Amino acid sequence: MRSVLVIHGPNLNLLGRREPEIYGSTSLEEIDRRLKALGGELGLRVETMQSNSEGEIVTAIQQAASWADALIINAGAYTHTSLAIADAIQGVKLPAVEVHLSNIYAREQFRHHSFLSRVCIGQICGFGVDSYLLALRAVAQHHSAGYSAVSE
């Protein structure tokens, strides 16, 4: 069975309580539960982690190279700042899908640039919790289409 690591970055542990008008009222635990349930339907093992620390996220990506077949990542604000996370994704060569609950392009200018987009196979943003579920479907589709890694 293929395995997918879903990474939630800084402040996403506050989901449900943090700016619900932007991020919705669903908790991170509930998002993880829905991802695992959908993974079951799609035949994907889903592991999830959350960290507020850039270094921990880099380490998790590096370690995923030995067991995961794909990454789904919402790097939170690190999306807009972290060359280290982008380098880690590029380094492990796992197909990765970038996720955001909100539509980052409809928000402040500083959210419009993502360091991660260049090293991901695609980005899904603006659909709230469904952004994650759509990303998992994208991973399943990407695998069944026979791709194994990010195209050069």
Sheet containing 122-125, strands listed edge to edge, beginning at the edge strand earlier in sequence: 44-50, 2-8, 70-74, 96-100, 122-125
What does DSSP assign to residue 1? -
- Is 55 exposed, middle or buried, given 0-12, 13-18 or 19+ CB atoms closer than 10 A? exposed
Catalytic residue at 100? yes
Catalytic residue at 142? no
**Distance of CA 139 to CAs 11, 82, 83, 111, 152, Å?**
24, 23, 23, 24, 18
Q: Which of 34, 36, 45, 111 binds ligand DQA (CB under 6 A)?
A: 111
Closer Cβ to ligand DQA, 2 or 11, answer by number: 11
With CB under 6 A as the contact rule, which of the stretches 38-46, 47-55, 99-107, 136-144 interacts with ligand DQA? 99-107
Of 32-51, binders to ligand DQA (CB under 6 A) are none
* Catalytic position from the list 23, 78, 132, 143: 23
Q: Is 13 in the site for ligand DQA (CB under 6 A)?
A: no
Binding site for ligand DQA (CB under 6 A): 11, 74, 76-77, 79, 100-102, 104, 111
